[in-house]
Structure 1
Amino acid sequence: MQPLRRRWHDTAGGLPATFWYLWAGLLINRAGAFAMLFLPLYLTEGRGASAALAGTVVGAYGAGGAGGVLLGGVLADRWGRRATLLAAHLATAGLMVGLAFSRHLAAIAALAALVGVVHSMPSPAFVAAIVDVVPEHRRSRAFNLQFWAFNLGMAVASLLAGLLAEASFLALFLVDAAATLTAAVVIGWKVPETLTRARSAPPASGQRTARTGGARGPRRPGLHTALTDRTFLVFVGLTFVLAVLTTQTSTIMPLAMRADGLAPSAYGAVVALGGALIVLGQLFVPRLIDRHRKDVVLATSTALLALGFGALAFAGTLPAYLAAAVVWTVGSMLAAPPNAQINADLAPPELRARYQSVFYLAFPAASFVAPALGGLSLQYLGDRHWLIVGALGLLAAVGHLLAGPPRERRVADLRHGQGQHLARTTAGAGAGAGAGGPG
């Protein structure tokens, strides 16, 4: 019994109740977000759209997602995390009902683009709220549990989507709307606003402050701050490479498996294996990585991704693909906690959600670049495509080792500035209390 308690504490202990309500909202959100997985099939079979038109509509959903992460970051820092999460979930539920009963393809395309926006808005707010409420020394565990919930929810969503799509496309959208509404109820009922904690923190060292007195002064910190933060952008660039690698599984790998004469069920087995490994093994990751530097963990994880995908150059059978999937999935599992933690460490408290939104842009960008360039590469280079992917990953692994030390110095400077601000605030409060006392 004692070892079980110790393992639970190492994995999930010491996290505040607000985190668990956020975690539950994320899990329900992901488990219920299944309608858009079958959007191409719904358009072609349910609405008679051509494959080209269906691709255009799905592209509109993706474009909306790129805008949604930026909008969500700005709103979460201005309105608040809770307000942004509620607005996004309620809007998603309403749009899903609209999609369920829409008949005209133009209306469906417009609604799909709007769904892309509101589907992506919660991501920066979720992570910013987690950073607000979870102590720094517990964040690695919190982000590990967040990644686990995301993948568990997606696994449930994939299963439910297949069952509902066979029964009724109308039910697919309406159940999705109901699940999204349930997540909104959990957040609205149990999650307080956490932005006030971030606003009480000091401006980051070296960040520009607001204009004062009408004179021409420094610009107010905002989205442009994240977009011009070189240390942060190097990290985002390395994350983009990681996203390009992981996106191979859903974009280029199915084409390679078909070229090798493997059936669609073989592709399903590879994807299912990766999901099962994450659901079963992700909770054990913190104990493996907590004692190691984040840049070393990220370099190791990216190297594993590179080796796993690079090995596909020599794969031609299902067992070979499954073995490679084990390698790259372990790499993804190791990368999730330090990736999120570094993102949180580099973000000034008053700009947490904006930094999250810029970070999340790496993923829709990778979803465009990976199939666009990967398809050409596979067509003209064949299996050598996977050697290029592997080499790109190994270069990114070296990049993490080179970028790690200056990044840690930047984080130390941010913490030092916040510590000095806290000391000044405490001293000022003590002096004020003394001045206001009887004399």
Structure 2
Amino acid sequence: MGGTKASGRLRQAAVRSVGGLPRQFWWLWTSTLVNRLGAFVATFLALYLTVERGYSASYAGLVGALYGLGGVVSSIGAGVLTDRIGRRPTLLVAQLSTALSVAALGLVTHPVAIAAVACLVGMATNASRPAVQAMMADIVRPEDRVRAFSLNYWAINLGFAVSSTSAGLIAQYSYHLLFFGEAAMVLATALLTFWKLAESRPTAEPERETRPGRDADISMWTVLRDSRFMVVVALNLLLATLIQQAFVSLPISMGQQGLNSTDFGTVIAVNGVLIVLLQLPLTRFIEHRDPAKLLIVSALLTGYGFGLNAFAGSSAAFYAFAVVVWTLGEMINSPTQMGLVVRLSPTHGRGRYQGMYTLSWSVANLGAPLLGGTVIDHYGADTLWAASAAIGTLAALGYGLLLRSMRAAEAEEPAPMCPEPPSPAPEREPTH
């Protein structure tokens, strides 16, 4: 009897998590999952350059920074294209370009060519993000968006958990298999986009926003003048800079301690596994709680989680424990912060706003490798991890001040933030 009740509760929880979303969302979700199942290269690029090719940590940091520079360029451009030519065309161009450039990166050998192609890979890979996020906001009802973004984030990390573990084993035999395997998976994603995803860009001119300073015609200058949104972007940049150390500085630091690619693959997979297991129930737990406290706690967990790496030495288990701590911070931050992003993004400028938000991750991709590689080469990895704890503390203070100012502004302005024009509810599909 108890087992029947428990299974019934689990079934109800599953329905609450995944039920009632439109069919196109699930095709978009599937394309995200397939893409992330083959996302090998960015995770293992630093190890490929330092272990397989014999380059220095500084050179690996430079290549990672150029990868990030490509993302900086494409974030804004793809955001504008998402609003102008549509979500689906932007996705297809980005996916096909990613497949070609990743395959090319596995073939080039000259250091200048590696750096140049890595920049192209960064451009192509990041170009799809504003389109995916804008399409998701288009096709999902407002009351379901936080849940939809959590499900998409869950798919990203499910794919990452599988790909990071398998890639660590594949790299023991051939790094080239990583490059060509990712190219094949991205091509499969492009086929899904072509066959199953319809264009979702709103065709009718939406009503004007009621917030002062908002115009019906959104430009990038409009986004830059939105001070609240830009503070969110800046704070996300701080935390994204920390999280990116997991893919550049962490493998280098572990390699210096005598650990290999399999050790790193197993340790970093803890991040994806935890998110896969806990993200959905955690989202239900935190969605109605005070966002100020959640964001502050998430920043502290992220910063101090990376700070713990200073005490890991050659223990893969301790590195895994540190991953648990900063992953909890990431899991709390993601749905809470995306709630702010969705509220602050007007319907008719979603591509540009999502492009600017994606830019914070791209700038982190650019700055984190340079910062991490340089600090490790000149001051040692322990200094980098101590600085990470300080950055987490700074971000926590920033979130506290931001939420405090937003509450004060809302008390003076009774109108809700970023109200959306009414729209018909999308057709509901059976749960997958």
Q: When the two structures are superposed, what TM-score results if normalisation uses the length of structure 1?
A: 0.80
Cα distance in structure 1, aligned partners of 2:240 and 2:370: 14
Deviation at residue 282 of structure 1 after TM alignment: 1.8
Cα distance in structure 1, aligned partners of 2:150 and 2:387: 30
Report the counterpart of residue 205 of structure 1 in structure 2.
211
Report the counterpart of residue 345 of structure 2 in structure 1.
347
Cα distance in structure 2, aligned partners of 1:372 and 1:41: 15
Cα distance in structure 2, aligned partners of 1:262 and 1:108: 26
- Equivalent residue letter for 2:162: V
Tell me, what secondary structure is at the counterpart of 1:361? Answer: helix
8 A Cα contact 1:204 1:348, kept in partner? no
Aligned CA distance change for structure 1 residues 198 and 396 (closer, same or farther; 3 Å): farther
1:309 to 286, 300, 306: 306
Cα distance in structure 1, aligned partners of 2:145 and 2:102: 33
Tell me, what secondary structure is at the counterpart of 1:323? Answer: helix
Aligned residues: 411
More helix by share: 1
Aligned CA distance change for structure 1 residues 249 and 154 (closer, same or farther; 3 Å): same
8 A Cα contact 1:299 1:401, kept in partner? yes
- Segments of structure 2 that go 5 or more residues without pairing to the other structure are 1-6, 424-432
Cα distance in structure 1, aligned partners of 2:54 and 2:384: 33
Out of 248-257 and 338-347, give the one that drifted further. Answer: 248-257
Report the counterpart of residue 291 of structure 1 in structure 2.
288
Deviation at residue 306 of structure 1 after TM alignment: 2.8
Whether 1:263 and 2:262 are equivalent positions in the alignment is no
Whether 1:399 and 2:395 are equivalent positions in the alignment is no
8 A Cα contact 1:77 1:352, kept in partner? yes
Report the counterpart of residue 231 of structure 1 in structure 2.
228
1:241 to 228, 238, 242: 238
Cα distance in structure 1, aligned partners of 2:243 and 2:381: 19
CA deviations 1:262-316 (Å, max 9, x no partner) are 5336544432322322222222221221220323221121122233233445554
1:37-186 equivalence runs, <5 A: 37=43, 58-96=64-102, 110-162=116-168, 172-186=178-192
CA deviations 1:364-391 (Å, max 9, x no partner) are 3223433444455565487465444223
Whether 1:193 and 2:189 are equivalent positions in the alignment is no
% identical equivalent positions: 38
Deviation at residue 22 of structure 1 after TM alignment: 0.9
CA deviations 1:182-221 (Å, max 9, x no partner) are 21222222222111168535346334547xxxxxxxxx52
- Segments of structure 1 that go 5 or more residues without pairing to the other structure are 211-219, 424-439
Tell me, what secondary structure is at the counterpart of 1:202? Answer: coil
- Equivalent residue letter for 1:273: V
Tell me, what secondary structure is at the counterpart of 1:179? Answer: helix
8 A Cα contact 1:251 1:371, kept in partner? yes
- Greater RCO, 1 or 2 (C-alpha within 8 Å, sep 6+): 2
Please provide the CA RMSD for this pair.
Answer: 3.5
Aligned CA distance change for structure 1 residues 386 and 281 (closer, same or farther; 3 Å): same
Out of 127-136 and 191-200, give the one that drifted further. Answer: 191-200
Cα distance in structure 2, aligned partners of 1:251 and 1:45: 13
- Equivalent residue letter for 1:77: D
Deviation at residue 149 of structure 1 after TM alignment: 1.1
Deviation at residue 181 of structure 1 after TM alignment: 2.1
Deviation at residue 147 of structure 1 after TM alignment: 1.4
Give the structure with higher Rg (CA). Answer: 1
Out of 332-341 and 264-273, give the one that drifted further. Answer: 264-273
Deviation at residue 330 of structure 1 after TM alignment: 1.0
Aligned CA distance change for structure 1 residues 266 and 38 (closer, same or farther; 3 Å): closer
8 A Cα contact 1:273 1:325, kept in partner? yes
Tell me, what secondary structure is at the counterpart of 1:249? Answer: coil
Tell me, what secondary structure is at the counterpart of 2:202? Answer: helix
1:9 to 12, 15, 19: 15
Q: When the two structures are superposed, what TM-score results if normalisation uses the length of structure 2?
A: 0.81
Cα distance in structure 2, aligned partners of 1:198 and 1:49: 55
Deviation at residue 73 of structure 1 after TM alignment: 0.6
- Equivalent residue letter for 2:302: L
2:355 to 354, 357, 374: 357
Cα distance in structure 1, aligned partners of 2:50 and 2:399: 43
CA deviations 1:24-58 (Å, max 9, x no partner) are 11111122233455556777899x79668776555
Aligned CA distance change for structure 1 residues 325 and 55 (closer, same or farther; 3 Å): closer
Aligned CA distance change for structure 1 residues 41 and 249 (closer, same or farther; 3 Å): closer
Aligned CA distance change for structure 1 residues 384 and 276 (closer, same or farther; 3 Å): same
